[in-house]
Amino acid sequence: MKKKLVSLLTVSAMTMSMLAGCGASGSQPAAPSSEPAAEASKEEAKADTATDAATDAATAAESVAETATAEAGNADLADKKVGVCIYQFADNFMTLFRTELENYLIAQGFTKENITIVDGANDQATQTNQIQNFITQGVDVLIINPVNSSSAATITDQVVGANIPLVYINREPDADEEARWDSNGWDVTYVGCDARQSGTMQGEILVDMGQEKIDLNKDGKIQYIMIEGDPENVDAQYRTEFSVKALEDAGWTVDELDDQVGMWDQATAQQLVANSLSAHPETEVVFCNNDAMALGALQSIEAAGRKVNEDIYLVGVDALTEALEDVIAGKMTGTVFNDHIAQSHGAADAAINYLTGAGNDHYIGCDYVKVTTDNAQSVLDSLK
């Protein structure tokens, strides 16, 4: 587990140490207390990951140097064909992810002509066809961001049946599916973050500010509205659950006024939040499962004549540039950096490890970073 994490952690480790220097509180996610037994060993591995992050930071530079030397000699990557399936191009976060992925693959020695990235247009049938086409074309490795995580077993069977190594990204297949890769010894892995951590951090951003501040009407409860991403997606499920859980774990009482599905989309969220705010003017907190929706929420908050951090609080996830600028300007309370750089590099490195025969673990993790006014500028600078 450790070895495969090193290169992935490089960016995170650098980002984190940089952020630590800028006064970030550096909190870790609370370990979920009631986990299904089947998840236990993976959770241990993830907990190790968090601890290892700090330890490995010191040795990361050295290992990176080794990796770079090994990869510099990898001229044969130039004839390898990579197929990349993205669930939907019209997704702000996945756009950052795929751009970085392509650039990094090229930097590692693949040629642009041999990298094909396709848009699943948020339709599983379309994506399944695209995967079939990649198989027919004989790509050497596939990187897949599934439209429906629940289709992973079918996708895996299709790809493994064609003897092509497979790297899943962003939408994590369930524990049973991941266990199958392991027990069959298949060249299949998942690269991504644990969405529980991002939800927990969203809640902690508010907890760190103190209940006194957030409980605007002083009734001893936090009135909130929740805007969810695609409910089929584990990121949406966990962020919804763990953001609120962090408030409860701090001993706060919560009062859910509304819970709506914004499908990760800014315009949808804008409409939903406009409706919610007029039905529930007593709203104190707007939780959005991602920044695109938080940007939509902000438009409606402003249209309703409200002021973030004065008479309402707003948190998102991703650390999109626009959201970071809003945090700096005090128009968003906070966000959580969803490290598309570490994840895209990790996915490319995993693909390379399959091509060179080095192999991979079946889960490659990554840490989120809490973002508030304290560190938003340094996160923004690190992304330039």
- What number of CA atoms fall less than 13 Å from residue 296's CA on the CB side? 25
Cβ proximity to Ca ion, 59 vs 253, nearer residue: 253
Listed ranges 30-38, 227-235, 270-278, 326-334: which one lies at the site for ligand BGC (CB under 6 A):
227-235
Q: Which does 91 bind (CB under 5 to 8 A by kind): Ca ion, ligand BGC, none?
A: ligand BGC
Measure the CA–CA gap between 233 and 236, rounded to whole angstroms.
Answer: 5
Cβ proximity to ligand BGC, 202 vs 333, nearer residue: 202
Measure the CA–CA gap between 54 and 2, rounded to whole angstroms.
Answer: 12
Cβ proximity to ligand BGC, 141 vs 195, nearer residue: 195
Residue 180 as a binder of ligand BGC (CB under 6 A): the answer is: no
Measure the CA–CA gap between 156 and 372, rounded to whole angstroms.
Answer: 39
The count of other CB atoms within 10 Å of the CB of residue 329 is 11
Q: Identify residues 121-150 at the interface with ligand BGC (CB under 6 A).
A: none
Measure the CA–CA gap between 118 and 14, rounded to whole angstroms.
Answer: 31
Cα–Cα distances (Å) from 100 to 49, 348, 350, 384, in that order, read 23, 10, 15, 12
Q: How far is the CB of 338 from ligand BGC (least distance, A)?
A: 5
Cβ proximity to Ca ion, 43 vs 208, nearer residue: 208
Residue 318 as a binder of ligand BGC (CB under 6 A): the answer is: yes
Q: Which does 151 bind (CB under 5 to 8 A by kind): ligand BGC, Ca ion, none?
A: none
Number of residues that bind ligand BGC (CB under 6 A): 15
Q: Which does 219 bind (CB under 5 to 8 A by kind): Ca ion, ligand BGC, none?
A: Ca ion
Residue 233 as a binder of ligand BGC (CB under 6 A): the answer is: yes
Cβ proximity to Ca ion, 35 vs 219, nearer residue: 219
Residue 238 as a binder of ligand BGC (CB under 6 A): the answer is: no
Side chain identity at 126, as an amino acid letter?
Answer: T
Measure the CA–CA gap between 133 and 69, rounded to whole angstroms.
Answer: 34
Q: Binding residue for ligand BGC (CB under 6 A) from 264, 287, 337, 354?
A: 264
- What number of CA atoms fall less than 13 Å from residue 356's CA on the CB side? 20
DSSP string, 32-94: PSS--GGGHHHHHHHHHHHHHHHHHHHHHHHHHHHHHHHHHT-GGGGG--EEEEES-SS-HHH
- Helix (H) / strand (E) element for 261: namely strand 253-261
Query: Binding marks (x or -) toward ligand BGC, 291..310, rule CB under 6 A?
Result: -x------------------
Q: Which residues bind Ca ion (CB under 5 A)?
A: 215, 217, 219, 221, 223
What 8-state DSSP symbol labels residue 149?
G
Residue 290 as a binder of ligand BGC (CB under 6 A): the answer is: yes
Yes or no: say if 206 and 199 are a contact pair by the CB < 8 Å rule.
Answer: no
Query: Binding marks (x or -) toward ligand BGC, 69..88, rule CB under 6 A?
Result: ------------------x-
Q: Identify residues 332-351 at the interface with ligand BGC (CB under 6 A).
A: 338
Q: Binding residue for ligand BGC (CB under 6 A) from 6, 143, 222, 317?
A: 317
Residue 363 as a binder of ligand BGC (CB under 6 A): the answer is: no
Residue 170 as a binder of ligand BGC (CB under 6 A): the answer is: yes
- Helix pair 291-303, 266-279: axis angle to 10 deg: 40
Residues forming contacts to ligand BGC in the complex (CB under 6 A) are 87, 91, 93-94, 170-171, 229, 233, 235, 264, 290, 292, 317-318, 338
